[in-house]
Amino acid sequence: MTRRFTYLNLLEALALTAQRFNIRLPEVILKPLRSLLTGLVKDKTIDQSIKDWSTPLIAGREVMSDQFVSAAKVPIGIENGTLPMAINLPEVEGSVKRTMSSAESKDGLRCLLVTSALDVGGLDEVVAFLARRLPRYNIYTAVLHASAEGSVDGFPTGRLGQLLLEQGIETVELAAVAGERWLKTWRPDVISAHGAPPWVLDAATRLSIPYLETLHGMHSHFDTDWTAEAERGRRLAGIVTVSDLNRRQYLNGNPTFPKERIVTIPNAVDDERRILGDRNRTRKRLGIENEYLFVSLARHCLQKNTYGLVAGFEAVAAQHPEAHLLIAGHPSDEIYFAQVLRLRESLACRDRIHLRDHVSNPAELLAAADGFVLDSFFEGWSLASMEALYAGVPVVLSEVGGALEQVGEDKKRGYVIPNPLGNPLQVNWQTMRKARFTCQANQEALVAAMSSLITDRTMWIDKRQWLISESATRFHPDVCLRSHARVLMAAVCGNPLHQYEDVLL
Tell me what pLDDT residue 120 has: 78
**Lowest pLDDT segment from 87-96, 99-108, 115-124, 311-320:** 87-96
- Strands 292-297 and 323-328, by their bridges, are parallel
Neighbouring-strand partners of residue 268: none
Quick one: which of 493, 248, 217, 484 has its CA closest to 502? 484
Tell me what pLDDT residue 81 has: 29
**Lowest pLDDT segment from 54-58, 93-97, 301-305, 314-318:** 93-97
pLDDT digits (tens, 9 = 90+) for 319-363: 999 999 999 998 888 889 989 999 999 999 999 999 998 887 888
pLDDT digits (tens, 9 = 90+) for 122-167: 889 999 999 999 999 999 999 999 998 999 889 999 999 999 999 9
Please name the helix (run of DSSP H) or strand (run of DSSP E) that holds residue 412, with its range, or none: none
Tell me what pLDDT residue 294 has: 98
**Whats the size of the chain, residue-wise?**
505
Neighbouring-strand partners of residue 173: 145
Query: In the chain, how long is the greatest CA-to-CA distance?
Result: 76
pLDDT digits (tens, 9 = 90+) for 177-188: 999 999 999 999
Percent of the chain with pLDDT over 90: 61
Q: Which of 28-32, 51-55, 244-248, 311-315 tops mean pLDDT?
A: 311-315
28 Cβ partners below 8 Å, 6+ apart? none
Find the radius of gyration of the CA atoms of the chain.
Answer: 23
Percent of the chain with pLDDT over 70: 79
Tell me what pLDDT residue 221 has: 83
Neighbouring-strand partners of residue 110: 140
Chain-centroid distance of CA 250 in Å reads 19
Quick one: which of 449, 419, 450 has its CA closest to 435? 419
- Please check the confidence at residue 104 and state whether its pLDDT lies above 50: no
Q: How far apart are CA 71 and CA 258, in angstroms?
A: 44
pLDDT digits (tens, 9 = 90+) for 230-243: 999 999 999 999 99
491 Cβ partners below 8 Å, 6+ apart? 190, 210, 212, 237, 238, 497
Q: Beta strands of 357-393 (E only): which ranges?
A: 371-374
The three-state DSSP-derived secondary structure of 100-135 is CCCCCCCCCEEEEEEECCCCCCHHHHHHHHHHHHHH
Tell me what pLDDT residue 105 has: 40
Tell me what pLDDT residue 301 has: 92
**Lowest pLDDT segment from 85-89, 316-320, 407-411:** 85-89
pLDDT digits (tens, 9 = 90+) for 387-411: 999 999 999 999 999 999 999 999 9
Higher pLDDT, 381 or 62: 381
Neighbouring-strand partners of residue 324: 293
**Lowest pLDDT segment from 5-9, 97-101, 132-136, 420-424:** 97-101
pTM above 0.75, yes or no: yes
Tell me what pLDDT residue 327 has: 96
Tell me what pLDDT residue 5 has: 46
Tell me what pLDDT residue 43 has: 55
Tell me what pLDDT residue 495 has: 84
Name all domains of the chain by residue range, CATH numbers in brackets. 106-271+477-500 (3.40.50.2000), 275-474 (3.40.50.2000)
Q: How far apart are CA 371 and CA 377, in angstroms?
A: 20
Identify the burial level of 476 via C-beta atoms within 10 angstroms of its C-beta, where 0-12 means exposed, 13-18 middle and 19 or more buried.
middle
Q: How confident is the model at residue 499 (pLDDT cuts 50, 70, 90)?
A: low
Chain-centroid distance of CA 426 in Å reads 21
Q: What is the mean pLDDT of residues 451-457?
A: 98
Tell me what pLDDT residue 7 has: 46
Quick one: which of 185, 183, 221, 226 has its CA closest to 205? 183
